[in-house]
Structure 1
Amino acid sequence: MARSLLSATAKDLEPLLREVAGAVGVPVLGVVSDGQTSIRRAVERALPGVPHQLCQFHFLREAAHPVFEADRHAKVRLKAEVRGVRPIERALEGQDDTAAEVARGYCAAVRSAITDDGRPPLAASGLRLKARLEAVADSLDRVREKGAARRRSRICAN
């Protein structure tokens, strides 16, 4: 049953809930909703004694809210630490050697990592950002180690 209502106040929803309960032909044993206050009040008035609960998604979102906020705060701090990408990209403008191309690739990887947002509560974008930035840092460390090893081998060969 659906009906267009002028508003979604408890006063407007109450008669609709009574009508639905009478039309279904079976007892209403429970109501599941997004937890909107007007819906909760309308259920209390129209269906006294019938339990009401949040749908699983909304329940999970509310339960995960403190974790989401901590993750969001961590993401903000991580982003602040890698804000220096643009000056590096500017310094590389006009350069077309291999090192400049590699550096631009790393800048693009960092940019991509900081612009990816997840959908709470199922995605912790701060944790994902941390993992992606660690992957970029690990790759840079490997490149640095290879460069140092090459320099050592050239020194030893001379």
Structure 2
Amino acid sequence: MTQGFVILALDGLQPDVGHEVLWVLRDCSSGEVLLARSLLSSSEDDLAVLLREVQAFLPVPIRGVVTDGQRSIRNAVQTVLPEVPHQLCHFHYLREAAKPVYEADRHAKKELKKQLRGIRPIERGLEKRTDLEAQAIRGYCLAVRSALTDDGRPPLSASGLNYRNA
């Protein structure tokens, strides 16, 4: 902890529903894992125990906490570290911000699919043609097909915001 403080990241990893959750607490600045423990529960009380354990272990103060915003985590942080700023991690924040765009894109793709069901016959009609017009039409068909099948994962690669082929 050469920086003299810790920005604490807290996250739970659950392989399958009903299994134990591996809780990892790490310093955002150094990346050092401060505590990792499996728990059967993700309750506020259980998480508060982990936070207190890390706080007691650290030789420097905790200046901030970054989490996914789960209610039990927020409550545990508020209980154990009431004066410490707590923020949503950037990935989760961006994912939430991208939801309206993602949903609009998904709806637009669904509507576009309804209108463009006849693309396959157009492509079949061009199979034996090699002229420039046929090549251009094939390019348009390919663009439409890729727009309909490209499923990006928000927040950083929503399919409607993917311009790699433009």
Q: Same fold (TM over 0.5)?
A: yes
> Which amino acid in 1 is paired with 2:146?
S
Instruction: Please give the alpha-carbon distance, in whole angstroms, between the structure 2 residues aligned to 1:109 and 1:64.
Output: 24
Deviation at 1:48, TM superposition (A): 2.2
Deviation at 1:32, TM superposition (A): 0.3
Instruction: Please give the alpha-carbon distance, in whole angstroms, between the structure 2 residues aligned to 1:113 and 1:66.
Output: 18
Residue 61 (str. 1) matches residue 95 (str. 2): yes
Deviation at 1:122, TM superposition (A): 2.3
Aligned CA distance change for structure 1 residues 79 and 127 (closer, same or farther; 3 Å): farther
Structure possessing the higher radius of gyration over alpha carbons: 1
Aligned-residue Cα RMSD (Å) equals: 3.0
Residue 46 (str. 1) matches residue 75 (str. 2): no
Instruction: Please give the alpha-carbon distance, in whole angstroms, between the structure 2 residues aligned to 1:49 and 1:96.
Output: 72
Aligned CA distance change for structure 1 residues 117 and 49 (closer, same or farther; 3 Å): same
1:63-97 per-residue CA deviation (whole Å, 9 max, x = no partner) reads 232233223322322232222223445x559x645
1:21-45 per-residue CA deviation (whole Å, 9 max, x = no partner) reads 1111111121101111111111112
Q: Compare the two structures and name the one with the higher strand fraction.
A: 2
Q: 2:49 aligns with which of 5, 11, 15?
A: 15
Q: Structure 1: where are the runs of 5+ without partners?
A: 136-158
Q: Compare the two structures and name the one with the higher helix fraction.
A: 1
Q: Structure 2: where are the runs of 5+ without partners?
A: 1-34
How much identity, in percent, do the aligned residues show? 63
Q: 2:69 aligns with which of 5, 20, 35?
A: 35
SS at 2:63's partner residue?
coil
> Which amino acid in 2 is paired with 1:38?
S
Per the normalisation by structure 1, the TM-score is 0.64
Deviation at 1:108, TM superposition (A): 4.5
Per the normalisation by structure 2, the TM-score is 0.62
